[in-house]
Amino acid sequence: MASQITATVFTKDNCKIPVSLEAAKQSWVICTMLEDLGYTEVETGSPIPVPTVDGKTMEKVVEWCEHHRNDPLVETKDDDYGLNSIRRKPGYEIVVPEWDAKFLKAIDDFMIKEILRAADFLEIPLLEEYAVKMIACRISGMSTQQMRDFFNVESDYTPEEEEQVKSVNSWVSSKVSSDPNAIWKLPASAFSLM
């Protein structure tokens, strides 16, 4: 049996993490770097620098990629903002496969956000999509303050400004509480301060 050809990813905290060439192809960024560095199926060259991802996160990303190494690559397209997105039909609901759901559920809140950042940087569309779905599930039903804590975001408003926004838009919370999809049906004016 032929040995598996691997490349080495060099992270921002100087960790060297091996990844099979098949698994590395799940990332559009790494795949492009492999081509640019002249990697072949026979030999590998210099480590691939990934300056925005730490070693612990990269290990999880590589674990996910290794599990999906034989999966077909996902077709992407440029969206209205010039960003790559997965080609989906309107109304498509994201269904996270069982293995991916177990993998992501076992990861703590901090790490899943780091995996999402890494998947975005490395352009791993399915991992990014699944991580977003799992984060959405985790924050579903959270209060504004709980979401701020989850995402480590400080409020830009003074307490007085927050009360003003709540009083001006009090009808929003009653609509949303009776229909969980109501927030997506609200007019853009519902999100303004005044």
**CATH architecture classification, 6-139:** 2-Layer Sandwich (3.30)
Domain boundaries, the chain: 6-139, 141-172
| pLDDT tens for each residue of 157-185 | 888 988 888 788 776 665 545 554 444 44
Kindly indicate the confidence band of residue 32, based on its pLDDT and cuts at 50, 70 and 90.
confident
Query: What would the two tokens of residue 58 be?
Result: 């990269």
Nearest Cα to Cα of residue 30 among 54, 15, 9:
9
The model scores a pTM over 0.75: no
Average pLDDT (81-101) is 67
> What is the per-residue pLDDT for 191?
43
**Half-sphere exposure of 135 toward its Cβ, with a 13 Å CA cutoff?**
18
Measured CA to CA, the distance from residue 60 to residue 108 in angstroms comes to: 12
> What is the per-residue pLDDT for 82?
47
Looking at the DSSP bridge assignments, the partners of residue 145 are none
